[in-house]
Structure 1
Amino acid sequence: MTTNLYTAHFGFRERPFSLSPDPDFLFWSKAHGRAMAVLEYGMVTRAPLTVVTGEVGTGKTTLVQALLRKVDPDVTLGLISNAQGDRGDLLRWVLNALDVQMPANSDYVSLFQHFQNFVISEYAANRHVVLIIDEAQNLGAEMLEELRMLTNINSGKDELLQIILVGQPELRQLITRPELRQFAQRVSTTYHIDPFDLRETRDYVQHRLLVAGGQGHEISPAAVRMIHEEAGGIPRMINKLCDLALVYAATSESAQAGLPTIRELFKDGLVLKPADEPLFLTNRIDTHKKAAE
Protein backbone atom coordinates (compact mmCIF):
# COMPACT_ATOMS: atom_id res chain seq x y z
CA MET A 1 0.00 0.00 0.00
CA THR A 2 1.73 3.18 -1.16
CA THR A 3 1.00 6.78 -0.24
CA ASN A 4 -0.09 7.45 -3.84
CA LEU A 5 -2.62 4.63 -3.71
CA TYR A 6 -3.86 5.92 -0.35
CA THR A 7 -4.45 9.44 -1.64
CA ALA A 8 -5.76 8.30 -5.01
CA HIS A 9 -8.39 6.09 -3.40
CA PHE A 10 -10.02 9.07 -1.69
CA GLY A 11 -9.02 11.73 -4.20
CA PHE A 12 -6.73 13.61 -1.81
CA ARG A 13 -3.95 15.90 -3.03
CA GLU A 14 -1.93 14.90 0.03
CA ARG A 15 -2.34 13.01 3.28
CA PRO A 16 -4.80 14.96 5.44
CA PHE A 17 -3.50 13.64 8.75
CA SER A 18 0.28 13.80 8.60
CA LEU A 19 1.93 13.94 12.03
CA SER A 20 4.37 16.65 10.93
CA PRO A 21 3.42 20.22 11.98
CA ASP A 22 1.97 22.04 8.97
CA PRO A 23 0.56 25.59 9.28
CA ASP A 24 -1.39 25.04 6.04
CA PHE A 25 -3.61 22.61 7.95
CA LEU A 26 -3.89 24.77 11.07
CA PHE A 27 -7.38 24.49 12.53
CA TRP A 28 -8.45 27.54 14.50
CA SER A 29 -10.22 26.06 17.48
CA LYS A 30 -11.23 28.51 20.19
CA ALA A 31 -8.17 27.57 22.24
CA HIS A 32 -5.76 27.85 19.30
CA GLY A 33 -7.22 31.20 18.28
CA ARG A 34 -6.72 32.56 21.79
CA ALA A 35 -3.23 31.10 22.03
CA MET A 36 -2.27 32.84 18.78
CA ALA A 37 -3.82 36.07 20.07
CA VAL A 38 -1.66 35.80 23.19
CA LEU A 39 1.48 35.19 21.10
CA GLU A 40 0.69 38.15 18.85
CA TYR A 41 -0.09 40.30 21.89
CA GLY A 42 3.34 39.49 23.27
CA MET A 43 4.96 40.42 19.96
CA VAL A 44 3.03 43.69 19.51
CA THR A 45 3.49 44.89 23.09
CA ARG A 46 7.08 43.62 23.22
CA ALA A 47 6.31 41.79 26.43
CA PRO A 48 9.53 40.58 28.09
CA LEU A 49 8.17 37.08 28.75
CA THR A 50 5.17 35.27 27.23
CA VAL A 51 4.34 31.63 28.05
CA VAL A 52 2.06 29.23 26.14
CA THR A 53 1.63 25.64 27.33
CA GLY A 54 -0.30 22.58 26.22
CA GLU A 55 -0.22 18.80 26.39
CA VAL A 56 1.95 16.80 24.00
CA GLY A 57 0.38 16.88 20.55
CA THR A 58 -1.95 19.85 21.03
CA GLY A 59 -0.42 21.84 18.16
CA LYS A 60 1.99 24.17 19.95
CA THR A 61 4.78 23.81 17.40
CA THR A 62 2.34 24.38 14.55
CA LEU A 63 1.25 27.61 16.25
CA VAL A 64 4.88 28.70 16.49
CA GLN A 65 5.38 28.07 12.78
CA ALA A 66 2.22 30.04 12.00
CA LEU A 67 3.53 32.89 14.16
CA LEU A 68 6.83 32.91 12.28
CA ARG A 69 4.92 33.69 9.09
CA LYS A 70 3.62 36.89 10.71
CA VAL A 71 6.89 38.27 12.05
CA ASP A 72 7.55 41.87 11.01
CA PRO A 73 10.71 42.60 9.00
CA ASP A 74 12.10 44.79 11.81
CA VAL A 75 12.32 41.77 14.14
CA THR A 76 15.54 39.82 14.63
CA LEU A 77 14.26 36.34 15.47
CA GLY A 78 15.93 33.39 17.11
CA LEU A 79 14.14 30.02 17.36
CA ILE A 80 15.39 27.43 19.83
CA SER A 81 13.98 23.91 20.08
CA ASN A 82 14.73 21.42 22.83
CA ALA A 83 17.54 23.37 24.49
CA GLN A 84 19.22 21.55 27.38
CA GLY A 85 22.41 21.93 29.37
CA ASP A 86 24.07 23.73 32.27
CA ARG A 87 24.84 27.35 33.06
CA GLY A 88 26.37 29.03 30.03
CA ASP A 89 24.98 26.49 27.59
CA LEU A 90 21.81 28.51 27.20
CA LEU A 91 23.73 31.55 26.01
CA ARG A 92 25.41 29.43 23.36
CA TRP A 93 21.99 28.17 22.23
CA VAL A 94 20.75 31.77 22.08
CA LEU A 95 23.74 33.11 20.15
CA ASN A 96 23.58 30.19 17.72
CA ALA A 97 19.85 30.78 17.13
CA LEU A 98 20.60 34.43 16.35
CA ASP A 99 23.47 33.39 14.06
CA VAL A 100 26.02 35.22 16.21
CA GLN A 101 29.41 33.54 16.02
CA MET A 102 31.61 33.16 19.13
CA PRO A 103 34.87 31.28 19.78
CA ALA A 104 34.28 27.84 21.25
CA ASN A 105 36.41 28.60 24.33
CA SER A 106 34.58 31.83 25.26
CA ASP A 107 33.76 32.11 28.97
CA TYR A 108 30.36 33.07 30.34
CA VAL A 109 31.20 36.74 30.83
CA SER A 110 32.36 37.05 27.22
CA LEU A 111 29.25 35.30 25.95
CA PHE A 112 26.95 37.56 27.93
CA GLN A 113 28.78 40.73 26.92
CA HIS A 114 28.68 39.74 23.28
CA PHE A 115 24.97 38.99 23.50
CA GLN A 116 24.25 42.28 25.23
CA ASN A 117 26.24 44.20 22.62
CA PHE A 118 24.34 42.43 19.86
CA VAL A 119 20.91 43.26 21.34
CA ILE A 120 21.88 46.90 21.86
CA SER A 121 23.26 47.19 18.32
CA GLU A 122 20.01 45.76 16.92
CA TYR A 123 18.06 48.31 18.94
CA ALA A 124 20.25 51.10 17.60
CA ALA A 125 19.35 49.88 14.09
CA ASN A 126 15.61 50.20 14.95
CA ARG A 127 15.22 46.44 15.36
CA HIS A 128 14.35 44.36 18.39
CA VAL A 129 15.32 40.81 19.26
CA VAL A 130 12.78 38.04 19.86
CA LEU A 131 13.69 34.60 21.19
CA ILE A 132 11.14 31.80 20.77
CA ILE A 133 11.96 28.71 22.79
CA ASP A 134 9.95 25.58 21.93
CA GLU A 135 9.86 22.58 24.30
CA ALA A 136 10.81 25.04 27.04
CA GLN A 137 9.87 22.58 29.81
CA ASN A 138 13.30 21.04 29.23
CA LEU A 139 15.14 24.17 30.35
CA GLY A 140 14.89 23.55 34.09
CA ALA A 141 14.90 26.11 36.91
CA GLU A 142 18.53 27.19 36.50
CA MET A 143 18.22 27.96 32.79
CA LEU A 144 14.91 29.77 33.32
CA GLU A 145 16.59 31.99 35.89
CA GLU A 146 19.35 32.61 33.37
CA LEU A 147 16.69 33.72 30.88
CA ARG A 148 15.33 36.16 33.43
CA MET A 149 18.79 37.65 33.81
CA LEU A 150 18.92 38.16 30.03
CA THR A 151 15.80 40.33 30.25
CA ASN A 152 17.76 42.72 32.52
CA ILE A 153 19.13 44.14 29.28
CA ASN A 154 15.78 45.89 28.92
CA SER A 155 15.73 49.35 30.44
CA GLY A 156 13.60 52.48 30.31
CA LYS A 157 10.42 52.51 28.22
CA ASP A 158 11.77 50.40 25.35
CA GLU A 159 12.07 46.63 25.42
CA LEU A 160 15.20 45.49 23.60
CA LEU A 161 14.59 41.78 24.10
CA GLN A 162 11.48 39.66 24.38
CA ILE A 163 11.24 35.95 25.05
CA ILE A 164 8.39 33.57 24.16
CA LEU A 165 8.33 30.19 25.87
CA VAL A 166 6.26 27.32 24.49
CA GLY A 167 6.11 24.00 26.30
CA GLN A 168 4.26 21.21 28.03
CA PRO A 169 2.24 21.64 31.28
CA GLU A 170 5.38 20.94 33.32
CA LEU A 171 6.66 24.35 32.23
CA ARG A 172 3.79 26.11 33.95
CA GLN A 173 4.30 24.04 37.07
CA LEU A 174 8.01 24.86 37.01
CA ILE A 175 7.45 28.60 36.69
CA THR A 176 5.15 28.67 39.71
CA ARG A 177 7.78 27.18 42.03
CA PRO A 178 8.75 29.55 44.89
CA GLU A 179 12.39 29.83 43.79
CA LEU A 180 11.25 31.17 40.41
CA ARG A 181 8.90 33.85 41.74
CA GLN A 182 11.07 36.60 40.22
CA PHE A 183 10.79 34.88 36.85
CA ALA A 184 7.01 34.54 37.21
CA GLN A 185 6.73 38.26 37.94
CA ARG A 186 8.36 39.02 34.59
CA VAL A 187 5.80 36.93 32.70
CA SER A 188 3.30 39.27 31.06
CA THR A 189 0.82 36.66 29.78
CA THR A 190 0.36 32.90 30.01
CA TYR A 191 -2.10 30.65 28.19
CA HIS A 192 -2.79 26.92 28.30
CA ILE A 193 -4.18 25.07 25.27
CA ASP A 194 -6.85 22.55 26.25
CA PRO A 195 -7.63 19.42 24.17
CA PHE A 196 -10.56 19.47 21.73
CA ASP A 197 -14.09 18.70 22.82
CA LEU A 198 -16.15 16.37 20.60
CA ARG A 199 -17.55 19.15 18.44
CA GLU A 200 -14.10 20.59 17.83
CA THR A 201 -12.79 17.13 16.94
CA ARG A 202 -15.55 16.72 14.36
CA ASP A 203 -14.83 20.14 12.86
CA TYR A 204 -11.08 19.46 12.94
CA VAL A 205 -11.36 16.14 11.10
CA GLN A 206 -13.64 17.63 8.45
CA HIS A 207 -11.35 20.66 8.08
CA ARG A 208 -8.29 18.55 7.35
CA LEU A 209 -10.16 16.30 4.95
CA LEU A 210 -11.34 19.32 2.97
CA VAL A 211 -7.92 21.03 2.97
CA ALA A 212 -6.39 17.84 1.55
CA GLY A 213 -8.91 17.90 -1.30
CA GLY A 214 -11.47 15.45 0.06
CA GLN A 215 -15.23 15.74 0.51
CA GLY A 216 -15.12 16.03 4.29
CA HIS A 217 -17.06 12.86 5.06
CA GLU A 218 -14.43 10.18 4.38
CA ILE A 219 -14.61 9.28 8.09
CA SER A 220 -18.07 8.62 9.55
CA PRO A 221 -19.46 10.61 12.52
CA ALA A 222 -19.56 7.45 14.64
CA ALA A 223 -15.93 6.74 13.81
CA VAL A 224 -14.96 10.31 14.68
CA ARG A 225 -16.67 9.99 18.05
CA MET A 226 -14.67 6.87 18.90
CA ILE A 227 -11.47 8.50 17.65
CA HIS A 228 -12.16 11.49 19.89
CA GLU A 229 -12.69 9.28 22.93
CA GLU A 230 -9.59 7.22 22.29
CA ALA A 231 -7.41 10.27 21.52
CA GLY A 232 -8.64 12.31 24.48
CA GLY A 233 -9.10 15.29 22.18
CA ILE A 234 -5.36 15.52 21.43
CA PRO A 235 -4.84 16.60 17.78
CA ARG A 236 -1.71 14.48 17.21
CA MET A 237 -3.47 11.32 18.40
CA ILE A 238 -6.51 12.23 16.31
CA ASN A 239 -4.24 12.52 13.28
CA LYS A 240 -2.67 9.14 13.95
CA LEU A 241 -6.00 7.36 14.34
CA CYS A 242 -7.59 9.08 11.32
CA ASP A 243 -4.58 8.29 9.15
CA LEU A 244 -4.67 4.61 10.06
CA ALA A 245 -8.44 4.50 9.62
CA LEU A 246 -8.11 5.82 6.07
CA VAL A 247 -5.38 3.28 5.32
CA TYR A 248 -7.64 0.45 6.52
CA ALA A 249 -10.62 1.81 4.58
CA ALA A 250 -8.55 2.10 1.41
CA THR A 251 -7.18 -1.46 1.68
CA SER A 252 -10.74 -2.76 1.97
CA GLU A 253 -11.82 -0.50 -0.91
CA SER A 254 -14.36 1.28 1.29
CA ALA A 255 -15.51 4.79 0.42
CA GLN A 256 -15.62 5.72 4.11
CA ALA A 257 -13.85 4.76 7.32
CA GLY A 258 -16.61 3.72 9.70
CA LEU A 259 -16.83 2.48 13.26
CA PRO A 260 -15.92 -1.12 12.30
CA THR A 261 -12.73 0.22 10.73
CA ILE A 262 -11.68 1.91 13.99
CA ARG A 263 -12.47 -1.20 16.00
CA GLU A 264 -10.45 -3.31 13.59
CA LEU A 265 -7.30 -1.21 13.79
CA PHE A 266 -7.46 -1.31 17.61
CA LYS A 267 -8.03 -5.05 17.53
CA ASP A 268 -4.93 -5.39 15.36
CA GLY A 269 -2.88 -3.46 17.94
CA LEU A 270 -1.75 -0.67 15.62
CA VAL A 271 -2.04 2.05 18.26
CA LEU A 272 0.00 2.24 21.46
CA LYS A 273 -1.65 4.16 24.30
CA PRO A 274 0.35 5.69 27.17
CA ALA A 275 -0.01 4.06 30.57
CA ASP A 276 -0.85 7.33 32.29
CA GLU A 277 -3.68 9.66 31.40
CA PRO A 278 -2.50 13.06 30.09
CA LEU A 279 -2.46 15.94 32.53
CA PHE A 280 -5.03 18.45 31.35
CA LEU A 281 -4.91 21.83 33.02
CA THR A 282 -7.76 24.29 33.31
CA ASN A 283 -7.47 26.89 30.60
CA ARG A 284 -6.81 30.42 31.72
CA ILE A 285 -5.05 33.61 30.77
CA ASP A 286 -2.92 35.27 33.44
CA THR A 287 -1.52 38.78 33.19
CA HIS A 288 1.13 40.06 35.55
CA LYS A 289 2.86 43.35 35.97
CA LYS A 290 6.58 43.39 35.38
CA ALA A 291 8.64 43.33 38.54
CA ALA A 292 10.23 46.62 39.46
CA GLU A 293 13.94 46.36 39.67
Structure 2
Amino acid sequence: MYKTFYGFREKPFSKTPDPRFLYMSVGHREALARLQYVLEEREIAILTGEIGCGKTTISRALMDAMGDVYHFCFIFNPRLAAIEFLRVIAANLGVEKPSTAKDFLLGEITQALYDLHENGRCLVVVVDEAQLIPDREIFDEIRLLTNFQLDDQNLLSIIIMGQPELRRIVSAPLFEPFRQRVAMTYHLLPLTLEETQEYLDFRMTVAGGCAGLFAPDAVQRIYELTGGVPRKINTLATNALLTGFAKDLAWIDASVIEDIKNEIII
Protein backbone atom coordinates (compact mmCIF):
# COMPACT_ATOMS: atom_id res chain seq x y z
CA MET A 1 0.00 0.00 0.00
CA TYR A 2 1.40 3.39 1.00
CA LYS A 3 4.77 1.88 2.02
CA THR A 4 5.75 1.08 -1.56
CA PHE A 5 4.22 4.28 -2.89
CA TYR A 6 6.32 6.44 -0.55
CA GLY A 7 9.41 4.23 -0.61
CA PHE A 8 9.27 2.85 2.94
CA ARG A 9 10.65 -0.55 3.93
CA GLU A 10 8.37 -0.62 6.95
CA LYS A 11 5.67 1.46 8.56
CA PRO A 12 7.23 4.69 9.85
CA PHE A 13 4.57 5.48 12.43
CA SER A 14 3.81 2.17 14.08
CA LYS A 15 2.61 2.41 17.68
CA THR A 16 4.86 -0.40 18.94
CA PRO A 17 7.68 0.80 21.26
CA ASP A 18 10.52 -0.02 18.87
CA PRO A 19 13.67 1.74 20.17
CA ARG A 20 14.98 2.09 16.60
CA PHE A 21 12.26 4.68 16.09
CA LEU A 22 12.95 6.58 19.30
CA TYR A 23 13.48 10.19 18.30
CA MET A 24 15.79 11.73 20.87
CA SER A 25 14.34 15.11 21.64
CA VAL A 26 16.07 17.20 24.30
CA GLY A 27 13.67 15.77 26.86
CA HIS A 28 14.08 12.17 25.73
CA ARG A 29 17.88 12.48 25.79
CA GLU A 30 17.82 13.84 29.31
CA ALA A 31 15.37 11.19 30.51
CA LEU A 32 17.50 8.39 29.08
CA ALA A 33 20.70 9.82 30.56
CA ARG A 34 19.11 10.15 33.98
CA LEU A 35 17.78 6.61 33.91
CA GLN A 36 21.21 5.31 32.90
CA TYR A 37 22.68 7.07 35.92
CA VAL A 38 20.05 5.53 38.21
CA LEU A 39 20.89 2.06 36.93
CA GLU A 40 24.59 2.61 37.45
CA GLU A 41 23.93 3.82 40.99
CA ARG A 42 21.28 1.11 41.61
CA GLU A 43 18.61 3.50 42.84
CA ILE A 44 14.90 4.25 42.37
CA ALA A 45 13.67 6.61 39.63
CA ILE A 46 10.25 8.00 38.75
CA LEU A 47 9.55 8.90 35.11
CA THR A 48 6.25 10.60 34.31
CA GLY A 49 4.66 11.98 31.18
CA GLU A 50 1.39 12.26 29.30
CA ILE A 51 -0.04 9.18 27.59
CA GLY A 52 1.90 8.51 24.40
CA CYS A 53 4.94 10.68 25.15
CA GLY A 54 7.40 7.79 24.80
CA LYS A 55 8.01 6.52 28.33
CA THR A 56 7.76 2.85 27.40
CA THR A 57 9.95 3.32 24.33
CA ILE A 58 12.59 5.00 26.48
CA SER A 59 12.57 2.00 28.83
CA ARG A 60 13.18 -0.31 25.85
CA ALA A 61 15.98 1.93 24.60
CA LEU A 62 17.46 1.87 28.09
CA MET A 63 17.47 -1.91 28.06
CA ASP A 64 19.27 -1.94 24.69
CA ALA A 65 21.77 0.71 25.77
CA MET A 66 22.81 -0.87 29.07
CA GLY A 67 23.75 -4.30 27.77
CA ASP A 68 23.75 -7.72 29.40
CA VAL A 69 24.99 -6.52 32.79
CA TYR A 70 21.38 -5.70 33.67
CA HIS A 71 18.47 -8.13 33.93
CA PHE A 72 15.18 -6.35 33.24
CA CYS A 73 11.85 -7.26 34.80
CA PHE A 74 8.96 -5.36 33.17
CA ILE A 75 5.65 -5.10 35.04
CA PHE A 76 3.14 -3.65 32.61
CA ASN A 77 0.01 -4.10 34.71
CA PRO A 78 0.63 -3.10 38.33
CA ARG A 79 -2.95 -3.74 39.45
CA LEU A 80 -1.70 -6.45 41.76
CA ALA A 81 -1.80 -7.33 45.40
CA ALA A 82 1.55 -6.86 47.12
CA ILE A 83 2.23 -10.61 47.30
CA GLU A 84 1.40 -10.95 43.58
CA PHE A 85 3.79 -8.11 42.79
CA LEU A 86 6.62 -9.89 44.60
CA ARG A 87 5.76 -13.21 42.97
CA VAL A 88 6.03 -11.62 39.50
CA ILE A 89 9.54 -10.44 40.37
CA ALA A 90 10.48 -13.85 41.77
CA ALA A 91 9.24 -15.61 38.64
CA ASN A 92 11.22 -13.21 36.46
CA LEU A 93 14.32 -14.07 38.50
CA GLY A 94 13.85 -17.73 37.64
CA VAL A 95 12.10 -18.98 40.77
CA GLU A 96 10.04 -21.85 39.35
CA LYS A 97 7.20 -21.86 41.86
CA PRO A 98 7.31 -18.65 43.90
CA SER A 99 5.96 -19.17 47.39
CA THR A 100 2.61 -17.75 48.44
CA ALA A 101 3.98 -17.18 51.96
CA LYS A 102 5.68 -13.79 52.12
CA ASP A 103 8.58 -14.78 54.37
CA PHE A 104 9.55 -17.69 52.13
CA LEU A 105 8.97 -15.58 49.02
CA LEU A 106 11.36 -12.87 50.23
CA GLY A 107 13.94 -15.54 50.93
CA GLU A 108 13.59 -16.83 47.36
CA ILE A 109 14.02 -13.32 45.95
CA THR A 110 17.03 -12.69 48.17
CA GLN A 111 18.76 -15.86 47.02
CA ALA A 112 17.97 -15.14 43.36
CA LEU A 113 19.37 -11.60 43.67
CA TYR A 114 22.60 -12.87 45.22
CA ASP A 115 22.89 -15.50 42.48
CA LEU A 116 22.40 -12.79 39.86
CA HIS A 117 25.04 -10.64 41.55
CA GLU A 118 27.49 -13.54 41.63
CA ASN A 119 27.07 -13.76 37.86
CA GLY A 120 27.96 -10.09 37.50
CA ARG A 121 24.43 -8.87 36.80
CA CYS A 122 21.92 -6.52 38.42
CA LEU A 123 18.13 -6.68 38.45
CA VAL A 124 16.17 -3.71 37.07
CA VAL A 125 12.46 -3.67 37.90
CA VAL A 126 10.45 -1.43 35.54
CA VAL A 127 6.89 -0.71 36.66
CA ASP A 128 4.76 0.83 33.91
CA GLU A 129 1.39 2.60 34.37
CA ALA A 130 2.27 3.03 38.04
CA GLN A 131 -0.58 5.50 38.58
CA LEU A 132 -2.77 2.36 38.56
CA ILE A 133 -1.07 0.81 41.59
CA PRO A 134 -4.08 0.03 43.79
CA ASP A 135 -2.75 0.73 47.27
CA ARG A 136 0.11 1.98 49.38
CA GLU A 137 1.34 -1.51 50.22
CA ILE A 138 2.95 -2.01 46.81
CA PHE A 139 4.83 1.28 47.16
CA ASP A 140 6.01 0.01 50.54
CA GLU A 141 7.22 -3.20 48.93
CA ILE A 142 9.04 -1.22 46.23
CA ARG A 143 10.73 0.83 48.94
CA LEU A 144 11.68 -2.25 50.91
CA LEU A 145 13.16 -3.92 47.84
CA THR A 146 16.00 -1.42 48.11
CA ASN A 147 16.96 -3.12 51.37
CA PHE A 148 18.40 -5.94 49.28
CA GLN A 149 21.98 -4.74 49.33
CA LEU A 150 25.60 -5.46 49.99
CA ASP A 151 27.78 -3.29 52.20
CA ASP A 152 28.58 -0.89 49.37
CA GLN A 153 25.71 -1.15 46.87
CA ASN A 154 22.11 -2.17 46.25
CA LEU A 155 21.34 -5.39 44.43
CA LEU A 156 18.71 -3.88 42.14
CA SER A 157 17.41 -0.71 40.50
CA ILE A 158 13.75 0.28 40.16
CA ILE A 159 12.16 2.51 37.51
CA ILE A 160 8.58 3.60 38.10
CA MET A 161 6.76 5.10 35.11
CA GLY A 162 3.33 6.64 34.94
CA GLN A 163 1.05 9.44 33.90
CA PRO A 164 1.30 12.87 35.55
CA GLU A 165 -1.12 11.92 38.34
CA LEU A 166 1.54 9.58 39.69
CA ARG A 167 3.43 12.65 40.93
CA ARG A 168 0.35 13.81 42.81
CA ILE A 169 -0.17 10.36 44.32
CA VAL A 170 3.34 10.01 45.71
CA SER A 171 3.39 13.61 46.96
CA ALA A 172 0.91 12.70 49.71
CA PRO A 173 2.40 12.80 53.24
CA LEU A 174 1.91 9.06 53.77
CA PHE A 175 4.40 8.38 50.95
CA GLU A 176 7.22 10.32 52.61
CA PRO A 177 9.21 7.13 53.44
CA PHE A 178 8.93 6.08 49.81
CA ARG A 179 9.91 9.50 48.43
CA GLN A 180 13.07 9.48 50.54
CA ARG A 181 14.24 6.39 48.64
CA VAL A 182 13.69 7.99 45.20
CA ALA A 183 16.97 9.23 43.73
CA MET A 184 15.61 10.85 40.58
CA THR A 185 12.31 12.12 39.19
CA TYR A 186 11.79 13.42 35.66
CA HIS A 187 8.72 14.59 33.74
CA LEU A 188 8.77 13.99 29.99
CA LEU A 189 7.14 16.83 28.04
CA PRO A 190 5.51 16.62 24.58
CA LEU A 191 7.50 17.67 21.52
CA THR A 192 7.82 21.27 20.40
CA LEU A 193 6.81 22.34 16.89
CA GLU A 194 10.41 22.11 15.68
CA GLU A 195 10.80 18.69 17.29
CA THR A 196 7.57 17.53 15.65
CA GLN A 197 9.09 18.27 12.23
CA GLU A 198 12.29 16.46 13.20
CA TYR A 199 10.29 13.55 14.63
CA LEU A 200 8.34 13.03 11.40
CA ASP A 201 11.50 13.21 9.25
CA PHE A 202 13.46 10.95 11.59
CA ARG A 203 10.89 8.17 11.61
CA MET A 204 10.41 8.29 7.85
CA THR A 205 14.16 8.04 7.33
CA VAL A 206 14.49 5.08 9.73
CA ALA A 207 11.67 3.37 7.81
CA GLY A 208 13.69 3.69 4.60
CA GLY A 209 11.99 6.74 3.12
CA CYS A 210 13.00 10.35 2.71
CA ALA A 211 12.59 13.36 4.94
CA GLY A 212 10.47 16.32 3.87
CA LEU A 213 7.32 14.46 2.85
CA PHE A 214 5.18 16.62 5.16
CA ALA A 215 4.95 20.28 4.16
CA PRO A 216 5.60 22.91 6.86
CA ASP A 217 1.91 23.85 7.00
CA ALA A 218 1.02 20.16 7.48
CA VAL A 219 3.53 19.89 10.33
CA GLN A 220 2.04 23.01 11.92
CA ARG A 221 -1.45 21.51 11.74
CA ILE A 222 -0.27 18.13 13.07
CA TYR A 223 1.36 19.88 16.00
CA GLU A 224 -1.75 21.91 16.76
CA LEU A 225 -4.00 18.86 16.67
CA THR A 226 -1.75 16.53 18.66
CA GLY A 227 -0.08 18.90 21.11
CA GLY A 228 3.26 17.30 20.22
CA VAL A 229 2.37 13.91 21.74
CA PRO A 230 4.25 11.27 19.69
CA ARG A 231 1.55 8.59 19.80
CA LYS A 232 -1.04 11.07 18.53
CA ILE A 233 1.39 12.24 15.85
CA ASN A 234 1.79 8.63 14.72
CA THR A 235 -1.95 8.19 14.32
CA LEU A 236 -2.43 11.40 12.37
CA ALA A 237 0.65 10.88 10.19
CA THR A 238 -0.35 7.32 9.29
CA ASN A 239 -3.81 8.42 8.21
CA ALA A 240 -2.30 11.30 6.25
CA LEU A 241 -0.06 8.88 4.35
CA LEU A 242 -3.02 6.60 3.61
CA THR A 243 -4.99 9.56 2.28
CA GLY A 244 -2.01 10.79 0.29
CA PHE A 245 -1.59 7.34 -1.26
CA ALA A 246 -5.30 7.13 -2.13
CA LYS A 247 -5.10 10.54 -3.83
CA ASP A 248 -1.75 9.84 -5.52
CA LEU A 249 -0.09 12.73 -3.69
CA ALA A 250 3.70 13.03 -3.53
CA TRP A 251 3.46 15.83 -0.94
CA ILE A 252 1.39 15.96 2.24
CA ASP A 253 0.19 19.48 2.90
CA ALA A 254 -2.20 21.01 5.42
CA SER A 255 -5.23 20.30 3.22
CA VAL A 256 -4.70 16.57 3.75
CA ILE A 257 -4.59 17.04 7.51
CA GLU A 258 -7.77 19.12 7.38
CA ASP A 259 -9.50 16.39 5.36
CA ILE A 260 -8.78 13.67 7.93
CA LYS A 261 -8.81 15.53 11.25
CA ASN A 262 -12.47 14.77 11.98
CA GLU A 263 -12.28 11.15 10.84
CA ILE A 264 -9.89 9.86 13.52
CA ILE A 265 -9.73 9.87 17.28
CA ILE A 266 -6.50 11.29 18.70
TM (norm. structure 2) is: 0.94
Q: C-alpha separation between the residues in 2 aligned to 1:265 and 1:76?
A: 44
Q: C-alpha separation between the residues in 2 aligned to 1:35 and 1:156?
A: 29
Aligned to 2:207: 212
Please point out which of 15, 31, 34 is paired with 1:19. Answer: 15
Aligned to 1:162: 157
Unaligned runs of 5+ in 2: none
Aligned to 2:126: 132
Shift of 1:128: 2.5
In the TM superposition, 1:37-186 aligns within 5 A as 37-47=33-43, 49-103=44-98, 106-140=100-134, 141-186=136-181
Q: C-alpha separation between the residues in 2 aligned to 1:27 and 1:185?
A: 32
Provide the aligned length of Structure 1 versus Structure 2: 265
Q: Is 1:33–2:26 an aligned residue pair? A: no
Distance change >3 Å, CA 168–CA 97, structure 1 → 2: farther
Shift of 1:210: 1.7
Please point out which of 222, 227, 236 is paired with 1:241. Answer: 236
Superposed structure 1 runs of 4+ greater than 4 Å apart: none
Shift of 1:193: 0.4
Q: C-alpha separation between the residues in 2 aligned to 1:102 and 1:161?
A: 21
Q: Is 1:7–2:3 an aligned residue pair? A: yes
Aligned to 1:272: 265
Q: C-alpha separation between the residues in 2 aligned to 1:237 and 1:125?
A: 42
Q: C-alpha separation between the residues in 2 aligned to 1:191 and 1:174?
A: 15
* 1:51 partner letter: I
TM (norm. structure 1) is: 0.85
Q: C-alpha separation between the residues in 2 aligned to 1:38 and 1:260?
A: 41
2:36–2:66 contact (8 Å) kept in structure 1: no
Q: C-alpha separation between the residues in 1 aligned to 2:8 and 2:182?
A: 43
Shift of 1:185: 0.4
Q: C-alpha separation between the residues in 2 aligned to 1:150 and 1:214?
A: 46
2:76–2:127 contact (8 Å) kept in structure 1: yes
- What is the SS of the residue equivalent to 1:218? coil
In the TM superposition, 1:181-196 aligns within 5 A as 181-196=176-191
Aligned to 1:262: 257
- The sequence identity of aligned pairs, in percent, is 35
Distance change >3 Å, CA 16–CA 134, structure 1 → 2: same
1:77–1:98 contact (8 Å) kept in structure 2: no
* 2:94 partner letter: D
Shift of 1:187: 0.3
Q: C-alpha separation between the residues in 2 aligned to 1:252 and 1:78?
A: 46
2:69–2:122 contact (8 Å) kept in structure 1: yes
Shift of 1:136: 2.1
* 2:109 partner letter: F
Shift of 1:155: 4.8
RMSD: 1.6
Shift of 1:70: 2.1
Aligned to 1:281: none
